[in-house]
Chain A
């Protein structure tokens, strides 16, 4: 089941990205401003954290999905050890990224005029939106939200708290949250690259 859902998810993502790329060719947005008012050190740390997140994510996706989806077997052996080594690196870097990037990913602009109307809010200062800004920010927050069940499902299963049934449930939670976070992160990266282009 998970294998089927994974394949369907990645295929759907690929199709969505192609469709998005074709349909959003002409759209342009403002150039990306500085991420925040913090100094260059923080910015550099943020970039470093982002890089580490992406690198460890690549290892996790490869070691996690390849055995399950391609080889149809459980993750084991050296792959499991790589996966378990990259996992704490990923979550720690993601935590750093969360702290460093949360403010710059606030949904503090007039993204959806109809929502402003609904809430009876005045619009923002009319600050120009960057390309795919809302989507990128939504991806950021989704990644953070999905990281919690992703990591805690495995950490809790390592503790002598839960029996076999809950171990299976938590393994499923881990798998599906890994799939979701992978799809969101890949799409987020796609949007980031397109925004930069």
Chain B
């Protein structure tokens, strides 16, 4: 009955104002000034939060913000629509990376159809489990609000609440906005309370995760177990937060401050800098005074401009890419130089480079070295979360920069992760096996392996893996395999054998940031910044890592990912030794030819002059 009700009426609670007519905040009036948000707080039932009421309830973003901004219009935006199969997935982006140390699993996940990324359900992750796992850096909405199919999970969602779109996570400029607190509340499954706790206007205690399935936040006093009473989720609004009209002031801004973006979108080159932020220069655009949202804009629909070339999201998207801002669009009216963007001259760069390379190839990410560097990202490594593992070698291992072709055929730097998971080979394809199934099947086979104290790869002995594959093979229909380091490992004649397979291919996503200053772009010195066998652009190595000895410490050639002929590339790079000589020879030869032409032209002129004056 409950399930039928949930299927028929997915939004059982009171909805915000229907979208038949635009709400107060849906349309701008043209003023560039920022409206002041002194607003009543509404619970997820749509009731006003009044100080002194018992029990005090957390305010709902959907109801509070939704009173003036149509929530359904916003929830179709790029940050929230990953689970919508009707949305064009666009260019592959950063995946969620599912890590399980016990089974040495490291897989890129996405609800979008990005080639090489796996769907969460392939590893047994329901939307509820996904929200619990990755909600720390989820903006809310979308799959985080989805109704679970499993009755048990549905019950948990009733206890915890849904992870609504956390509007304040982006739009609240107030210095007390604490996304680390948001993450802490998500870890406790306090989904209903997380936004309020992070907003800085309230403190939340307790943990919904510890509550029984029958817990009702409207009647917290039904919990009588003295051990559970301290764990009952409670919210206490800070003194002085409410004014005389029971309204609360939020410093809401349309132009999201960089710090809000940084919580989910930070990355740091841990090979070069460890975790030391002070050693790292920001993206040159930010250093120049721009903000993230100067380029990554959106309207009410929150279809944020990603800023990549060829993004088919209208004229503003076209002029918000690298080329769009710096070189302008091609539809008549000049648009180059937007936001003060310098128009590049690219002196001395043959135009073929602009056909074969994306702007980011020369301008973004770290300078290519002999080997790729390890990078940590907010979403993949829980940066900004209290108590996070800060070790540089903590899983997942993400490498960069890797030169590879984008969908448009241009070479660009990418980040890369090598998938590692247990699977079953069927008809030539490898299907992942759920983590819990693996743990149950494999059991003690992997015990005794050397587990890393810093959270890096465990070191599996071949014998352990062979035993584990044997046990897994008894539970699955097909040949049990383990994928890692670009290879699929199976047992053949009692030995662990690794083979290439498309399921083991690395997942790559293009790097946009950090953009280096022009004086640090590739090619600024000479052609040999790239066209040299001593430089990493074409001739670097991509680090491979995994728990199996056969892949530990190995590398792959950058040329493989770039899709270039390594022999030709090497010969071409070596030919640059002769380039200065070629210029000198050609210039000297032209000089000789010019002198010959001049000499005989002067002689001819002499003949003409003589003829004119009558001296033949």
Interface residues of chain A, those whose CB is within 8 Å of chain B, are 74, 76-78, 80-81, 84-85, 87-88, 91-92, 94-95, 98-99, 102, 106-107, 119-122, 141, 144-145, 147-148, 151-152, 154-155, 157-164, 167-168, 171
Contacts and interface: CB of A to CB of B under 8 A. Distances in A.
Nearest to B591: A95
Given A88-B586, A164-B354, 16 more contacts: A78-B568, A81-B568, A81-B571, A88-B585, A91-B593, A119-B608, A141-B600, A145-B597, A147-B593, A154-B586, A155-B583, A155-B590, A162-B348, A163-B346, A163-B347, A167-B349
A160 B589 contact: no
Contact of A95 (B345, B350, B582, B592): B592
A152 B348 contact: no
Contact of A168 (B351, B589, B590, B600): B351
Q: Nearest 8 CB-CB pairs, A to B?
A: A160-B348, A163-B345, A95-B589, A95-B592, A119-B611, A91-B589, A98-B596, A88-B585
A148 B590 contact: yes
Interface in B545-600: 565, 568, 571-572, 575, 579, 582-583, 585-590, 592-594, 596-597, 599-600
Interface in B298-354: 344-352, 354
A136 to B, nearest CB: 16
Interface of B: 344-352, 354-355, 565, 568, 571-572, 575, 579, 582-583, 585-590, 592-594, 596-597, 599-600, 603-604, 608, 611-612, 614, 616
A167 B351 contact: yes
Nearest to B348: A160
Contacts of B596: 98-99, 102, 144
B5 to A, nearest CB: 62
Contacts of A161: 347-348
Contacts of A141: 597, 600
A169 B612 CA distance: 40
A164 B351 CA distance: 6
Contact of B593 (A76, A107, A148, A159): A148
Nearest to A120: B611
A166 to B, nearest CB: 9
A140 B582 CA distance: 24
Contacts of B603: 106
A79 to B, nearest CB: 10
Contacts of B579: 158
Contacts of A167: 346, 349-351
A87 B352 CA distance: 19
Given A74-B352, A91-B585, A120-B611, A151 B347 contact: no
A44 B345 CA distance: 48
B344 to A, nearest CB: 8
B581 to A, nearest CB: 8
A91 B586 contact: yes
A122 B607 CA distance: 12
A94 B589 CA distance: 8
18 contacts: A74-B355, A84-B575, A92-B589, A95-B590, A98-B596, A102-B599, A141-B597, A141-B600, A144-B596, A144-B597, A151-B586, A151-B589, A157-B348, A157-B350, A163-B344, A167-B350, A167-B351, A171-B351
A148 B594 CA distance: 7
Nearest to B608: A119
Nearest to A154: B586
